[in-house]
Amino acid sequence: MLKTFKLGGVHPPENKLSKNQKIETLALPKSVFIPVAMHIGAPATPLVKKGDKVKVGQVIAQSSSFVSTNIHSSVSGTVKKVDFSADSSGYPKQGIFIDVEGDEWMDEIDRTTDLVKEISVDGAEIVKRIQDAGIVGLGGATFPTHVKLVPPKGMKAELLLINGVECEPYLTADHRLMLEKADEIMVGIQLLMKAMNVDKAVIGIENNKPDAIQLLKEKCKTCPGVSVVALKVQYPQGGEKQLINAVTGREVPSGALPIAVGAVVSNVGTAFAVYEAIQKNKPLFERVVTVTGKGVLKPSNFLVRIGTPTSELVEAAGGLPDDTGKIISGGPMMGKAIPSLDVPVTKGTSGILLMREEESKRKEVLNCIRCSRCTSVCPMGLEPYLLMTLGEKQIFDRAEQERVMDCIECGSCSYTCPSNRPLLDYIRFGKGKVGAIIRSRKK
Amino acid sequence: MSIIVIYTIVTLSLIGATAAIILYFVAQKFKVFEDPRIDEVEGALPGANCGGCGFAGCRAFAEACVKASDLGDLNCPVGGNDTMASVATTLGLEAVKKDPRVAFIRCNGTCDNRPKTSSFDGASTCSIASSVYSGETDCQFGCLGYGDCVDACDFDAIDLRAEMGVPLILDDKCVACGACVDACPKNLIELRKKMPKDRKIVVACRNTDKGGVARKACSVACIGCGKCEKVCAFDAITIENNLAFIDSDKCKLCRKCAPVCPTNSILELNFPPRKVKPEPELETKEN
């Protein structure tokens, strides 16, 4: 029997429309907007000013603390301005506007496609290079990777887990990457293993990607210590705590990080970015983005420069369908609707999903009938109906006791609710408030 | 048969009497002294328990009044000066007169003035909508219109006006308890000095974007041009971050600022209609 995580989970229709589309390189946009806060942690500090000439791969904003990361220019051209512009939340965020002129890369970047297998640097150097290259978790959480690789005092990593699950419906970016860049990913995994000083890595892939499982199993034969585990299709298996549970059977305690059970989880996209950063000297300034949706003419996977406006991607996938109701950055379960097409692609954008009008509408909210479906699907073992009420009535102390902070915001509860209750909306609200209370208590 | 009844009555009476004696001595021993004036003060208060005074309820406020040596920092906004005067007499202190206040929503971004550019169909509360994104219009400062202030108001003083997009505070019902001020995630609500006949001159905008951006999002946005600041004879208007603010404590309701506003973001409320040739001098003397 295939492995999966123990608690809860749902299985929404997969709709992987673009799984057979090869990754295409998107044409350069005319201008880009690169936000300085594309990661969890402190925003980077801009280094350039209006009128500066920049090259592809040049550092344009510097990491401002340990939990932060460098931002590199994704294009060559002139800095138009360093200003605030609305991001996916509609609130203005600082960023750098660059007008594209040509495509001139930094000299040290190796632009050949030859596979470089020999690892010539030591562990500490790898971590430093990852930090310099601005690599963050590309699964969507955008947590700076170098922070994960250095375990806190008294803890030791034993196992590297590579997340090739891609449990979100529609998205195929990781799937395509595994098929097309398998060799590079394997080298990336070895680099990560060396940086963490572990001798075992497991790649978790859901069973709906048999081609990727087979290919990577093949590649593993030449890589000692690396193995592939096929997993039962179950959302949200891509959550790091769920993946650890599915692969190792261990359970991350409430409030703790995966390192507490000796595991570090990285996405396959991250492993690929690590390969490029170390072996090809190429910092993180482009990523694979799936553009998909039932109304989309040509669902595709694009290799996109960070900062490209969403409109360019939609255009390349055949234009905006007339009946589009919602544009979602990310997948349908955890993604976020964006208010305009000017929103740029950031390091965490794994997909652009165009939902048709009739799919996107929320249904009428009815009363809770205490069916407890939300409780049975919650992968963290919480009671969503209760947390929703606590959020609604603003009873935050009780919400904290009920472990609202453990919620991974996967949305399984809202998805499964027969009364269409906006469970996650209220839980996320309560989580935000409780988080603020906890932070103010620490001060 | 009857003897059982008599026994029962006698036994129960004895138990009752013993318990009464014990309770009497216990009550004497553990008696808590409470200032009788607290009850008196509480009686004089409106009993709304709204928390507008900053205390948990009317009782807590009464206790604070009795403990206080002067009433300068204590004010019951619901009862106003009359209530505070009677509290002061009870306590033998001097009442400090405070200007009555009234809440005002500083946004006039109704559906006509501020076009919608997206739509939100999540949980319909302002606190959640504002935590998810900036709102359905291009103005990230404006009213969201889901009525968190209406829910917070204990006095039915806010009309949601769902069809308009911005709620309205009913001056005759508002007691300036400030519950709506805390409830608004966009910090739009301000407690302003209550003027005679509920008249108001107020900048109904909180948009600190640059003029062009603000104007594009909303036709009645304050663009921070500073014309009103120049025309004001009482230094009541200040411009900060592209936004004008009229200090209600300094404003004399002269109405000079409203006609010069190029975007009509300054509202004059409850005034008689202007004459064909306005003579602001007459209005100045009103206060």
Cα A284 to chain centroid distance, Å, stands at 14
Domain of residue B179 covers 101-284
Q: Taking CB atoms and an 8 Å cutoff, what residues of chain B touch A396?
A: none
Neighbouring C-beta atoms of residue B231, cutoff 10 Å: 16
Domain membership flag for residue A116: no
Among all chains, which residue has been given the structure tokens 């220019």? A73
Q: Model confidence at A129, in pLDDT bands (50, 70, 90)?
A: very high
Q: How far apart are CA A282 and CA B272, in angstroms?
A: 70
B241 contacts chain A (CB < 8 A)? no
Whether residue B105 sits in one domain with residue B84: no
Tell me: the pLDDT tens digits for A232-267?
Answer: 999 999 999 999 999 999 999 998 888 999 999 999
Is A384's pLDDT higher than 60?
yes
Whether residue B43 sits in one domain with residue B143: no
Domain membership flag for residue A157: yes
Whether residue B220 sits in one domain with residue B81: no
> Which DSSP category does A239 fall into?
S
Q: Do A425 and B117 touch (CB under 8 A)?
A: no
A359 contacts chain B (CB < 8 A)? no
Domain membership flag for residue A360: no
Q: Do A422 and B133 touch (CB under 8 A)?
A: no
Q: Which residues contact residue A443 at a Cβ distance below 8 angstroms, ignoring those fewer than 6 apart?
A: none
Q: What is the model's pLDDT at position A228?
A: 94
Is A55's pLDDT higher than 90?
yes
Q: What is the model's pLDDT at position B287?
A: 43
Whether residue A259 sits in one domain with residue A383: no
Domain membership flag for residue A334: no
Domain of residue A148 covers 123-279
Q: What is the model's pLDDT at position A74?
A: 94
How many CA within 13 A on the CB side of residue A185? 30
Whether residue A249 sits in one domain with residue A129: yes
Q: How far apart are CA A332 and CA A345, in angstroms?
A: 17
Query: Pairing between strand A77-86 and A53-54?
Result: antiparallel
Domain membership flag for residue B202: yes
Domain membership flag for residue B221: yes
Average pLDDT of chain A, as a whole number: 92
Whether residue B246 sits in one domain with residue B117: yes
Is B286's pLDDT higher than 60?
no
Across the interface, of B121, B123, B134, the residue whose CB is closest to A361 is B121
Tell me: the pLDDT tens digits for B173-216?
Answer: 998 888 999 999 999 999 999 888 888 899 999 999 888 889 88
A9 contacts A236 by C-beta, under 8 angstroms: yes
Q: What is the model's pLDDT at position B278?
A: 53
Provide the whole-model pTM: 0.85
Domain membership flag for residue A266: yes
Structure tokens at A400: 């904290």
Q: Which amino acid is at B244?
A: A
Q: Model confidence at B280, in pLDDT bands (50, 70, 90)?
A: low
Is A339's pLDDT higher than 90?
no
Whether residue B176 sits in one domain with residue B45: no
Closest A-chain CA to B151: A393
Q: Taking CB atoms and an 8 Å cutoff, what residues of chain B touch A425?
A: 122-123, 128, 132
Q: What is the model's pLDDT at position B276?
A: 67
Neighbouring C-beta atoms of residue B13, cutoff 10 Å: 10
Q: What is the DSSP string of A268-324?
A: HHHHHHHHHHHHS---S-EEEEEEE-TT-SS-EEEEEETT-BHHHHHHHTT---TTE
Tell me: the pLDDT tens digits for A189-232?
Answer: 999 999 998 999 999 999 999 999 999 999 999 888 999 999 99
Whether residue B126 sits in one domain with residue B77: no
| Boundary (domain end) residue, out of A279, A310, A342 | A279
Q: Which amino acid is at A429?
A: F
Among all chains, which residue has been given the structure tokens 């806060």? A37
Q: Do B131 and A422 touch (CB under 8 A)?
A: no
Across the interface, of B121, B123, B134, the residue whose CB is closest to A89 is B134
Indicate if the alpha-carbon torsion angle B180, B186, B187, B191 is positive or negative.
negative
Whether residue A254 sits in one domain with residue A149: yes
Domain membership flag for residue B275: yes
For testing the chain B interface, which of A84, A357, A365, A429 should be mutated: the one with the most B CBs within 10 Å? A429
* CATH code, B231: 3.30.70.20
Domain membership flag for residue A228: yes
Q: Mapping DSSP to helix (H, G, I), strand (E, B) and coil, where does residue B162 land?
A: coil
Q: Do A91 and B127 touch (CB under 8 A)?
A: no
Tell me: the pLDDT tens digits for B14-28?
Answer: 999 999 999 999 999
* CATH code, A136: 3.40.50.11540
Give how many domains chain A has, as a whole number.
2
* CATH code, B65: 1.10.15
Q: What is the model's pLDDT at position A289?
A: 95
Q: Do B128 and A429 touch (CB under 8 A)?
A: yes
Among all chains, which residue has been given the structure tokens 């973001």? B265
Q: Model confidence at A424, in pLDDT bands (50, 70, 90)?
A: very high
Among all chains, which residue has been given the structure tokens 């609202």? A404
Whether residue B226 sits in one domain with residue B253: yes
Q: How far apart are CA B70 and CA A157, in angstroms?
A: 64
A207 contacts A217 by C-beta, under 8 angstroms: no
- Give, in order, the Cα–Cα distances in Å from A241 to each of A248, B7, B44: 11, 72, 59
B118 contacts chain A (CB < 8 A)? yes
Q: How far apart are CA B116 and CA B223, in angstroms?
A: 20
Q: How far apart are CA B238 and CA B258, in angstroms?
A: 14
Q: Which long-range contacts (CB under 8 A, 24 or more apart) does A148-157 make?
A: A148/A259, A148/A264, A148/A266, A149/A192, A149/A195, A149/A196, A149/A264, A151/A196, A151/A259, A151/A264, A152/A257, A152/A259, A155/A259, A155/A260, A155/A262, A156/A262, A157/A196, A157/A197, A157/A198, A157/A259, A157/A262, A157/A263, A157/A264
Whether residue A275 sits in one domain with residue A130: yes
A402 contacts A325 by C-beta, under 8 angstroms: no
| Boundary (domain end) residue, out of A238, A264, A279 | A279
Chains A and B form CB pairs within 8 A to the count of 40
Q: Which of A355, A356, A329 is nearest to A342 (CA)?
A: A329
Backbone torsions φ then ψ of B149, nearest 5 degrees: -70, -35
Domain membership flag for residue A434: yes
Domain membership flag for residue B15: no
Whether residue B206 sits in one domain with residue B82: no
Whether residue B207 sits in one domain with residue B176: yes
Instruction: Provide, rounded to the nearest whole percent, the portion of chain B with pLDDT above 90.
Output: 43
Please give the ipTM for the structure prediction.
Answer: 0.83
A386 contacts A16 by C-beta, under 8 angstroms: no
Q: What is the arithmetic mean of pLDDT over A184-190?
A: 94
Domain membership flag for residue A357: no
For testing the chain A interface, which of B117, B134, B139, B216 should be mutated: the one with the most A CBs within 10 Å? B134
Whether residue B228 sits in one domain with residue B131: yes
For testing the chain B interface, which of A414, A425, A426 should be mutated: the one with the most B CBs within 10 Å? A425
A35-39, A113-117, B242-246: range with lowest mean pLDDT:
A113-117
Whether residue A393 sits in one domain with residue A248: no
Q: Model confidence at A89, in pLDDT bands (50, 70, 90)?
A: confident
Q: What is the model's pLDDT at position B50?
A: 87
Domain membership flag for residue B19: no
Closest A-chain CA to B152: A393
Q: How far apart are CA A334 and CA A237, in angstroms?
A: 13
Among all chains, which residue has been given the structure tokens 């479906």? A373
Whether residue B187 sits in one domain with residue B249: yes
What is the least distance, in Å, from the CA of B35 to any CA of chain A? 34
Domain membership flag for residue B18: no
Give the dihedral of Cα atoms A295, A301, A306, A309; nearest 10 deg: -20
Q: How far apart are CA A272 and CA A181, in angstroms?
A: 8
A426 contacts chain B (CB < 8 A)? yes
Whether residue B233 sits in one domain with residue B105: yes
Tell me: the pLDDT tens digits for A303-322?
Answer: 999 999 999 999 999 989 98
Q: What is the arithmetic mean of pLDDT over A370-390?
A: 94
Domain membership flag for residue B96: no
A363 contacts chain B (CB < 8 A)? no
Domain membership flag for residue B107: yes
Tell me: the pLDDT tens digits for A401-410?
Answer: 999 999 999 9
Q: How far apart are CA A401 and CA B36, in angstroms?
A: 41
Q: Taking CB atoms and an 8 Å cutoff, what residues of chain B touch A340?
A: 117-118
| Boundary (domain end) residue, out of A234, A250, A279 | A279
Across the interface, of A90, A422, A425, the residue whose CB is closest to B134 is A90
Give how many domains chain B has, as a whole number.
2
Q: How far apart are CA A400 and CA A255, in angstroms?
A: 11
Tell me: the pLDDT tens digits for B242-269?
Answer: 999 999 889 988 888 999 999 999 998 8
- Give, in order, the Cα–Cα distances in Å from A96 to each of A78, A280, A305, A437, B219: 10, 25, 14, 33, 29
